Amino acid sequence: MEKYRKSIELAERITRYLKGDLSDTEMLELEKSLEESSDGTQLLTKISDQKNIADKQAIYESFDANKSWDKIRKVTGRKVHGKIYHVFWYAAILMLPLMVAASVWYIGRVEELERPQYIVDAYFESHKTILELPGGLFVDLDTVRNIAKKLNEFGVTLEEGQGLNYSGIDSIIDDKIEYHRIIVPRGGEYNLKLADGTDVWMFADSEIRFPTRFKGNKREVYLSGEAYFEVHHDPSRPFYVKTTSLDVKVLGTSFNVKAYDDMDVVETSLVEGVVSVKDNVLRPNMQAVFHKNTGDFSYRKINGDNYRLRKERVFVFENERLDDILQEMARWYDFDIFYQNPDIADKQFGLKLEKYEHVDSLLRILELTGEVKFSIKGRILTVMSGS
């Protein structure tokens, strides 16, 4: 027991170090403890890595024992005695420092922990959200301030936390129309405001091409991927979202369009207002599914709020196919999927997940159903039967 007590105390001190809570004296004590360990030198190097510290701190600060317990209880559908709940809650709080420290301690030693850190941020270093300007000029949107003056000349502003805002462009005397394109990578998202005041939330692995100002009797944008729209009402100028397979016509409404090139369907999900898809009128809480291979439509009732939540960085799935859920997550967490048994892909699940939770949270929730198991190696997620 004494050995385990010392291990837990060491893990707690490491976790406090990651959070920057150690005094100078406690820091010296920690360094001495690590020097006495055979892996101490390597561990000191790892916990001095600022990126590593930031990652672990984010995991620690995002942990919510009550919320995590609620997820487990909802998935299992079981009522649990209050005393047992408190035991689990206490155990989670006790074990968290050890888990955080252990993930640092064994990184590079345990094969399972060699998986990549899935970065859910449009501005991560190797793949950034890109703005394409006329003439083939590409600009990283996290460095857009470098060309802010040039954009301002076109009436485009950069709103803190909101992205590019084109709504002031009509204040510019010049009525020249140019097309811009925003390219969002896997793991990214971006929000912009079009010239007419329409708000657009771009999701992972998506592109939108749009005019810097709208002229004439209609407004058109071109979408590949997925986006949520809140369209500025203008009965005299209908708004069109054009995809490679079909167009969505709108007067003023809130809706979601999913039109990835590698999908066999295009989904239009209406939250508020009225939209028309190839002369098929949708009402709120309806979804039209266009099947590319046959040219047919199917319809189903949905909870529109589930799609509204997407712009709030929350995924909600209600009785969705496992493959549809995992494909969605793959665009966000950047992994590839392999099924040991293809039949598993058609199993249906329901869950709610914040986008910035670690991918392990999603996998644990699904595994608790007993229907499925997962293994990650590198960027490959292997899906296995739970039985």
CATH number, domain at 320?
Answer: 3.55.50.30
**Residue range 327-338: average pLDDT?**
90
Q: Please check whether residue 193 lies inside any domain of the structure.
A: yes
- pLDDT of the residue at 193: 93
Are residues 306 and 342 both part of a single domain? no
Are residues 143 and 291 both part of a single domain? yes
The token pair that represents 289 in the structure block: 């599914």
- pLDDT of the residue at 113: 40
Are residues 201 and 250 both part of a single domain? yes
Are residues 363 and 292 both part of a single domain? no
- pLDDT of the residue at 135: 80
Element (H, E) at 339: strand 336-339
- Does residue 53 have a pLDDT over 70? no
Q: Please check whether residue 94 lies inside any domain of the structure.
A: no
- Residue numbers of the domain that contains 67: 1-76
- pLDDT of the residue at 178: 86
Are residues 144 and 208 both part of a single domain? yes
- pLDDT of the residue at 174: 62
Q: Please check whether residue 85 lies inside any domain of the structure.
A: no
Q: Please check whether residue 267 lies inside any domain of the structure.
A: yes
Are residues 290 and 333 both part of a single domain? no
- pLDDT of the residue at 44: 52
- Does residue 187 have a pLDDT over 80? yes
Q: Please check whether residue 115 lies inside any domain of the structure.
A: no
- Which of 87-91, 207-211, 214-218 has the lowest average pLDDT? 87-91
- pLDDT of the residue at 49: 52
- Does residue 347 have a pLDDT over 60? yes
Provide the pairing of β-strand 296-301 with 179-184.
unpaired
Q: Please check whether residue 89 lies inside any domain of the structure.
A: no
Higher pLDDT residue, 79 or 207?
Answer: 207
Provide the pairing of β-strand 348-354 with 314-321.
antiparallel
Are residues 277 and 320 both part of a single domain? no
Query: Helix, strand, or coil here: 77?
Result: coil
| Structure confidence at residue 156 as a pLDDT band (50, 70, 90) | confident
Higher pLDDT residue, 125 or 137?
Answer: 137
Q: Please check whether residue 280 lies inside any domain of the structure.
A: yes
pLDDT per position as a tens digit, 82-115: 444 444 444 444 444 444 444 444 443 444 344 3
Are residues 196 and 147 both part of a single domain? yes
Query: Distance between CA 281 and CA 262 in Å, rounded?
Result: 26
Q: Where does a domain end: 310, 337, 358? A: 310
Number of H helices, E strands in the chain: 10, 22
Write phi, then psi, for 283 (nearest 5 degrees): -110, 165
Q: Where does a domain end: 277, 310, 343? A: 310
Query: Distance between CA 385 and CA 377 in Å, rounded?
Result: 17
Are residues 317 and 304 both part of a single domain? no
CATH number at residue 288: 2.60.120.1440
Higher pLDDT residue, 138 or 58?
Answer: 138
| 269 Cβ neighbours under 8 A, 6+ residues apart | 255, 256, 257, 258, 286, 287, 302, 304, 307
- pLDDT of the residue at 126: 47
List strand residue ranges (DSSP E) for 189-273, in order.
190-193, 199-202, 206-211, 219-230, 239-242, 247-250, 254-259, 265-272
Are residues 162 and 68 both part of a single domain? no
Q: Please check whether residue 121 lies inside any domain of the structure.
A: no
Are residues 181 and 271 both part of a single domain? yes
Q: Where does a domain end: 310, 341, 371? A: 310
- pLDDT of the residue at 143: 66
Query: Distance between CA 165 and CA 183 in Å, rounded?
Result: 16
Are residues 50 and 24 both part of a single domain? yes
Element (H, E) at 348: strand 348-354
Cβ(95)–Cβ(60) below 8 Å:
no
Q: Report how many domains make up the chain.
A: 3
Would you tell me the crossing angle of helices 82-105 and 50-62 to the nearest 10 degrees? 170
pLDDT per position as a tens digit, 260-307: 998 999 999 999 999 999 888 999 999 999 999 999 999 999 999 999
pLDDT per position as a tens digit, 236-262: 999 999 999 999 999 889 999 999 998
The mean predicted confidence, pLDDT, of the chain is 76
- Does residue 219 have a pLDDT over 90? yes
